[in-house]
């Protein structure tokens, strides 16, 4: 017969610490603590498999469960020498949730179960404390009514307050037994009124009600949301822990506390925690009374404290990680109620991992495995001051969107890029709010503190550009009604006008009204140590996506080993070194687009050439000795010409042409589906002169730098290739120009020519393309878009439903953020295998946004790519994930050998 329930108590446990998937973290922890001889109250755990069964079978329990639970209650009664509902010496239990991954506060708990009108008398008699017994009873009735029967918490709290004011007392501790007795009766009457039934009497019925409530809370809205946000997937469900109650509120020789084996904020090796005398656990959590620090507890209860300190050492040694423990002292006796791996700040995560490795408690490889990619991300960005009151923060929410780039930003709202530049020029801090952004907006985006768009997903223009700069960005804030004409935006009944302050939380994707205080975390020393350990172990290279010398330098500081993608078109509108020249560049590209003849186009491109060359010189210098992959023009041309009448007129005036010609050209360029239109290398096929200018700029810059003693390794990359013959035309044109320039210069310069793989056809025919291409770089933004047939710019509207377990729940994560390894990944695998079959030394990388996502990087390692190329701020994440992938592989091999 299948076993559903696991017992622990009296020094023995049926479960084990490793069985977290089956018993949940709490259940496994209690079993393990029992096994290693720590003082733990007895109890049993109903496994997560029951939760799984429950939801797969129309919310029914396995047929044998009732019998098994009843048997375990009997066993618990034997061990504790008490009986559930006994009017003389009643057994009281707590019923708590606990899944394999900690979800604090997300699921339900019932305490003091076992009390009814008769057994409460028994409790009063055995503890010789009426007040305590009736307080426990009212807590139970209150919890049962709200948690199990869904009655309003506020309703009951209100009655509690009314009772206290009737008695003229302020603190709960001052309420006499008669007050609690009165309140229990009142609660029960309310219960009957609301449910039409009397309050149940039998503790066994209570137990089943509580078990049902815990299993039910697994699918409660907040729990589902928490799992989505924390990317918790693949769990069977929650377990239910039924544990003998111990009381911290029986007098001044009792108490309850929560502690961490190290400081969870700094990671320092000090015992850290709070203790409340004469209190129950919920009092600590609720924060009603101010607890004392553990150092004070050491003075008040030295013996118990010494025991606790001993438990701290045992637990850290045993679990080899920082623990978060809950304990209760009942009449001078210590009980550990829970231990789990403690949550910590990112800075603490680094310090604890490095310290523990240095203390030889864990290996360096384990230390590397302990860091989550988000820990790194959060180290660099400012955040909204965590000390801020949560309630007032909540009242300031204007809208929520997709958290494209983390960090926080404060500024005055402007609604167009031009204003952003003007205001910033005056020294104002601005937040740029747009329905969406396009290359035209880049100047304004660059000067803004943060960016918000009403549409778009994680690979929309705004998200990609902002990520490159590590600039706080929220996209797809669909509820924002942006009124460009009247310079204001509305959402949720609030209006924010131009010039008013807003604060962005890019990590959570929330826009707040007002200017909130920000704090920037300090980079811990342990960060450098741990990343060095990671670099020593990874085999996958890490490059960066950078379009400017500044970004390139930043990326190098973050540890980039080259550039995997320079998006050249990002330089068409903005001059990052001489901003006043931005306009000139812009006009040159626009003149080229508006030109009717090849000659006129060449003339316009000749104006752009020196700008591009200067940019490349800057980037090559910054990347001295490292490879730089430069991609030729990619977006459809309509993105570079204005669509508003006033701007079209201005352009016509500047170029001294008829505005009608501008309008006509813009109309001509219009495409129903520009993402699948005239873009990528198709542009160079139609306008070879663009390719000629760009290759010339790259090679001339490379020659100039080589002459100056800089080591340049250029890789020229063609985007969106779909066919061998198409690629051949581009490849030949590229080499003709490059070889000619190099020959004339007399310098020795080696360069590569290759392609992005961004279309399923290119991946499928990779074997043919690799006959000519020297390298592949997977552009997984477009490859995801084209494989899935989902627009990267529009899918943000419905994709959240696809990753929401409560809605469609089709994907575990947004496929534009975390690689769809099953579908898109299959094409990548195929492409790499075929490509390398043709050309064994084919260099393979990835430059889509996925290269900054931990799980995706691990997948790239498995595919034996040469490198991943991520935005500068994500480079450390890629370094860490690459090391973790190498370590995981090593462990897997070792496991298989065994």
Which residues are tagged catalytic? Answer: 461, 847
Residue whose CB is less far from Mg ion, 482 or 632? 632
* DSSP per-residue letters across 100-165: SS--TTSS-EEEEET--TTHHHHHHHHHT-HHHHHHHHHHHHHHIIIIIT---HHHHHHHHHHHHH
Q: Is residue 779 part of the contact set for Mg ion (CB under 5 A)?
A: yes
556 binds, among Mg ion, ligand PEP, none (CB under 5 to 8 A by kind): none
Least distance to Mg ion, CB of residue 568, Å: 13
- Using DSSP, state whether 579 is helix, strand or coil: helix
Residue whose CB is less far from ligand PEP, 148 or 763? 763
Q: Which of residues 379-438 bind ligand PEP (CB under 6 A)?
A: none
| Beta-carbon count within 10 A of 233 CB | 14
Distance CA(182)–CA(195), nearest Å, equals: 20
Q: Is residue 635 part of the contact set for Mg ion (CB under 5 A)?
A: no
681 binds, among Mg ion, ligand PEP, none (CB under 5 to 8 A by kind): none
Which residue in the block uniquely carries the two structure tokens 């709070």?
Answer: 274
Least distance to Mg ion, CB of residue 849, Å: 10
Q: Is residue 845 part of the contact set for Mg ion (CB under 5 A)?
A: no
| Beta-carbon count within 10 A of 296 CB | 14
Least distance to ligand PEP, CB of residue 681, Å: 12
Binding mask 631-650 for ligand PEP (x = CB under 6 A): ---x----------------
Residue whose CB is less far from ligand PEP, 130 or 634? 634
Binding mask 707-746 for ligand PEP (x = CB under 6 A): ----------------------------------------
Residue whose CB is less far from ligand PEP, 377 or 758? 758
Residue pair 618/548 in contact by the 8 Å Cβ criterion: yes
464 binds, among Mg ion, ligand PEP, none (CB under 5 to 8 A by kind): ligand PEP
Question: What are the tokens at 789?
Answer: 């047939």
Least distance to ligand PEP, CB of residue 284, Å: 49
Strand partners of residue 99: 238
Distance CA(758)–CA(70), nearest Å, equals: 60
Residue whose CB is less far from ligand PEP, 257 or 476? 476
Query: Assign residue 646 a region: left if phi > 0, alpha if psi is -120 to 50, beta otherwise?
Result: alpha
Q: Nearest 5°: phi and psi at 740?
A: -60, -45
Which one of the spans 195-203, 353-361, 654-662, 773-781 is the region binding ligand PEP (CB under 6 A)? 773-781
Which of these, 194, 257, 223, 216, lies nearest to 106 by C-alpha position?
Answer: 223
Distance CA(1)–CA(13), nearest Å, equals: 19
Distance CA(855)–CA(776), nearest Å, equals: 21
Q: Is residue 570 part of the contact set for ligand PEP (CB under 6 A)?
A: no
The residue within the footprint of ligand PEP, chosen from 145, 780, 818, 871 (CB under 6 A), is: 780
Distance CA(350)–CA(530), nearest Å, equals: 7
Helices (H) and strands (E) in the chain, counts: 35, 34
Q: Is residue 853 part of the contact set for ligand PEP (CB under 6 A)?
A: no
Write the burial class of residue 559 (CB in 10 Å: 0-12 exposed, 13-18 middle, 19+ buried): middle
Distance CA(337)–CA(244), nearest Å, equals: 10
Q: Is residue 845 part of the contact set for ligand PEP (CB under 6 A)?
A: no
Q: Is residue 129 part of the contact set for ligand PEP (CB under 6 A)?
A: no
Distance CA(502)–CA(448), nearest Å, equals: 12
CA distances from 189 to 143, 145, 161, 192 (A): 15, 11, 17, 5
Distance CA(432)–CA(445), nearest Å, equals: 7
Nearest-CB residue for Mg ion:
782
848 binds, among ligand PEP, Mg ion, none (CB under 5 to 8 A by kind): ligand PEP
Q: Is residue 355 part of the contact set for Mg ion (CB under 5 A)?
A: no
780 binds, among Mg ion, ligand PEP, none (CB under 5 to 8 A by kind): ligand PEP
Residue whose CB is less far from ligand PEP, 407 or 848? 848
Q: What is the DSSP letter of 287?
A: T
Q: Which of residues 458-497 bind ligand PEP (CB under 6 A)?
A: 464
Residue whose CB is less far from ligand PEP, 321 or 782? 782
Residue pair 507/403 in contact by the 8 Å Cβ criterion: yes
Which one of the spans 116-124, 214-222, 531-539, 757-765 is the region binding Mg ion (CB under 5 A)? 757-765
Least distance to ligand PEP, CB of residue 859, Å: 15
Residue whose CB is less far from Mg ion, 38 or 847? 847
CA distances from 149 to 159, 186, 671 (A): 17, 16, 58
567 binds, among ligand PEP, Mg ion, none (CB under 5 to 8 A by kind): ligand PEP
Residue whose CB is less far from ligand PEP, 347 or 762? 762
Size of the site for ligand PEP (CB under 6 A): 11
Q: Is residue 216 part of the contact set for ligand PEP (CB under 6 A)?
A: no
Which residue in the block uniquely carries the two structure tokens 């259940």?
Answer: 27
The residue within the footprint of Mg ion, chosen from 324, 551, 715, 782 (CB under 5 A), is: 782
Size of the site for Mg ion (CB under 5 A): 3
Which one of the spans 23-31, 115-123, 641-649, 780-788 is the region binding ligand PEP (CB under 6 A)? 780-788
Distance CA(826)–CA(642), nearest Å, equals: 40
Q: Is residue 849 part of the contact set for Mg ion (CB under 5 A)?
A: no
Which one of the spans 266-274, 469-477, 736-744, 774-782 is the region binding ligand PEP (CB under 6 A)? 774-782
Question: What are the tokens at 823?
Answer: 């579908």
Q: Is residue 547 part of the contact set for ligand PEP (CB under 6 A)?
A: no
Least distance to ligand PEP, CB of residue 565, Å: 6
Strand partners of residue 518: 384
Distance CA(160)–CA(186), nearest Å, equals: 10
Least distance to Mg ion, CB of residue 680, Å: 7
Distance CA(483)–CA(435), nearest Å, equals: 10
Query: Assign residue 112 a region: left if phi > 0, alpha if psi is -120 to 50, beta otherwise?
Result: left
The residue within the footprint of ligand PEP, chosen from 375, 758, 768, 793 (CB under 6 A), is: 758
Which one of the spans 215-223, 472-480, 734-742, 779-787 is the region binding ligand PEP (CB under 6 A)? 779-787
Least distance to ligand PEP, CB of residue 846, Å: 8
Q: Is residue 172 part of the contact set for Mg ion (CB under 5 A)?
A: no
Least distance to Mg ion, CB of residue 510, Å: 29
Which residue in the block uniquely carries the two structure tokens 């065994």?
Answer: 898
Q: Which residues of 351-374 are buried (b: 16+ CB within 10 A; e: fewer)?
A: bbbbbbbeeebbebbebbbbbbbb
Distance CA(465)–CA(639), nearest Å, equals: 15
Sheet strands (E) in 758-829 = 775-778
| Beta-carbon count within 10 A of 307 CB | 18
The sign of the torsion formed by the CA atoms of 781, 786, 792, 798 equals negative
Question: How many Cα atoms sit within 13 Å of 617 on the Cβ side?
Answer: 16
Least distance to ligand PEP, CB of residue 112, Å: 57
Strand partners of residue 631: 567, 717
The residue within the footprint of ligand PEP, chosen from 781, 787, 871, 884 (CB under 6 A), is: 781
Residue whose CB is less far from ligand PEP, 43 or 468? 468
Least distance to ligand PEP, CB of residue 353, Å: 32
Least distance to ligand PEP, CB of residue 887, Å: 27
The residue within the footprint of ligand PEP, chosen from 848, 852, 854, 876 (CB under 6 A), is: 848
Binding stretches for Mg ion (CB under 5 A): 758, 779, 782
Binding stretches for ligand PEP (CB under 6 A): 464, 565, 567, 634, 758, 779-782, 847-848
């Amino acid at each position: 017969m299948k076993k559903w329930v696991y017992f622990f108590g009296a020094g023995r446990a049926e479960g084990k610490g490793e069985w977290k998937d089956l018993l949940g973290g709490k259940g496994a922890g209690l079993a393990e603590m029992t096994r290693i001889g720590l003082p733990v109250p007895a109890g049993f755990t109903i496994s997560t498999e029951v939760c799984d069964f429950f939801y797969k079978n129309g919310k029914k329990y396995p047929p044998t469960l009732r019998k098994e639970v009843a048997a375990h209650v009997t066993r618990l009664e034997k061990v504790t020498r008490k009986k559930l509902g006994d009017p003389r010496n009643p057994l009281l239990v707590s019923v708590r949730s606990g899944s394999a991954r900690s979800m604090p506060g997300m699921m339900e708990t019932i305490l003091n179960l076992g009390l009814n009108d008769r057994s409460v008398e028994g409790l009063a008699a055995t503890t010789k404390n009426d007040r305590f017994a009736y307080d426990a009873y009212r807590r139970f009735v209150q919890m049962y009514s709200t948690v199990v029967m869904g009655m309003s918490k506020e309703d009951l709290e209100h009655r509690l307050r009314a009772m206290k004011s009737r008695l003229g007392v302020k603190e709960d501790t001052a309420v006499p037994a008669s007050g609690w007795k009165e309140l229990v009766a009142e609660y029960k009457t309310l219960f009957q009124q609301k449910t039409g039934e009397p309050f149940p009497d039998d503790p066994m019925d209570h137990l089943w009600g509580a078990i049902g409530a815990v299993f039910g809370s697994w699918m409660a809205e907040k729990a589902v949301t928490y799992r989505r946000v924390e990317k918790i997937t693949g769990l069977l469900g929650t377990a239910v822990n039924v544990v003998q109650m111990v009381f911290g509120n029986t007098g001044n020789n009792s108490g309850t506390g929560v502690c961490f084996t190290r400081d969870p904020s700094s990671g320092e090796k000090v015992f850290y925690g709070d203790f409340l005398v004469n209190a129950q656990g919920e009092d600590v959590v609720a924060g009603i009374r101010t607890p004392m620090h553990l150092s004070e507890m050491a003075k008040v209860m030295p013996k118990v404290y010494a025991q606790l300190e001993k438990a701290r050492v045992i637990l850290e040694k045993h679990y080899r990680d920082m623990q978060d423990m809950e304990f209760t002292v009942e009449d001078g006796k210590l009980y550990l109620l829970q231990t789990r791996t403690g949550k910590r700040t990112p800075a603490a995560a680094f310090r604890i991992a490095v310290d523990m490795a240095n203390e030889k408690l864990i290996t360096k490889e384990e230390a590397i495995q302990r860091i989550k990619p988000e820990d790194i991300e959060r180290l660099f960005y400012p955040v909204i001051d965590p000390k801020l009151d949560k309630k007032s923060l909540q009242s300031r929410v204007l809208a929520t969107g997709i958290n494209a780039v983390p960090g926080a930003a404060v500024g005055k709202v402007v609604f167009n890029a031009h204003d952003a530049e003007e205001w910033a020029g005056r020294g104002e801090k601005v937040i740029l709010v747009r329905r969406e952004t396009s290359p035209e907006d880049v100047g304004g985006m660059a000067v803004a503190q943060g960016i918000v768009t009403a549409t778009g997903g994680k690979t929309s223009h705004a998200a990609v550009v902002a990520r490159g700069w590590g600039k706080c960005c929220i996209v797809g804030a669909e509820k924002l009604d942006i009124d460009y004409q009247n310079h204001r935006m509305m959402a949720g009944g609030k209006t924010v006008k131009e010039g008013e302050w807003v604060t962005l939380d890019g990590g959570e994707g929330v826009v707040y009204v007002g200017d909130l205080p920000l704090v920037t975390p300090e980079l811990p020393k342990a960060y450098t140590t741990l990343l060095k350990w990671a670099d020593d172990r990874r085999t996958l290279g890490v490059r960066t996506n950078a379009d400017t010398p500044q970004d390139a330098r930043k990326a190098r500081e973050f540890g980039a080993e080259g550039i995997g993608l320079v998006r050249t078109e990002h330089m068409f509108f903005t001059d990052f070194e001489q901003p006043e020249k931005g306009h000139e560049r812009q006009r040159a590209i626009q003149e080229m687009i508006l030109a009717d003849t090849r000659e006129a186009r060449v003339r316009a491109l000749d104006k752009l050439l020196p700008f591009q060359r200067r940019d490349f010189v800057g980037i090559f210098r910054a990347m001295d000795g490292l490879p730089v992959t430069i991609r030729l023009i990619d977006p459809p041309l309509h993105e570079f010409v204005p669509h508003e009448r006033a701007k079209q007129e201005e352009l016509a005036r500047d170029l001294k042409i008829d505005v009608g010609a501008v309008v006509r050209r813009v109309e001509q360029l219009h495409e129903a589906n520009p993402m699948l239109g005239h873009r990528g290398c198709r542009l160079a096929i139609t306008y070879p002169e663009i390719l000629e200018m760009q290759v010339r700029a790259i090679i001339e810059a490379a020659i100039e730098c080589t002459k100056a003693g800089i080591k340049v390794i250029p890789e020229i990359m063609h985007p969106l290739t779909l066919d061998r013959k198409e690629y051949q035309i581009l490849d030949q044109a590229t080499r003709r120009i490059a070889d000619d320039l190099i020959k004339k210069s007399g310098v020795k310069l080696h360069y590569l020519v290759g392609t992005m793989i961004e279309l399923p056809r290119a991946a499928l025919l990779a074997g043919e393309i690799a006959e000519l291409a020297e390298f592949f770089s997977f552009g997984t933004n477009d490859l995801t878009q084209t494989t899935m047939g989902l627009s990267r710019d529009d899918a943000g509207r419905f994709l959240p439903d696809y990753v929401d377990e409560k809605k469609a729940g089709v994907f575990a994560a947004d496929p534009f953020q975390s690689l769809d390894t099953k579908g898109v990944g299959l094409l990548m695998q195929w492409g790499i295998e075929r490509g390398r079959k043709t050309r064994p030394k084919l260099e393979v990388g990835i430059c889509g946004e996925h290269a900054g996502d931990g799980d995706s990087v691990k997948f790239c390692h498995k595919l034996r790519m040469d490198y991943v190329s991520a935005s500068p701020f994500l480079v450390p994440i890629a370094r860490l994930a690459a090391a973790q992938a190498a370590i995981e592989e090593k462990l897997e091999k070792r496991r298989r050998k065994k």
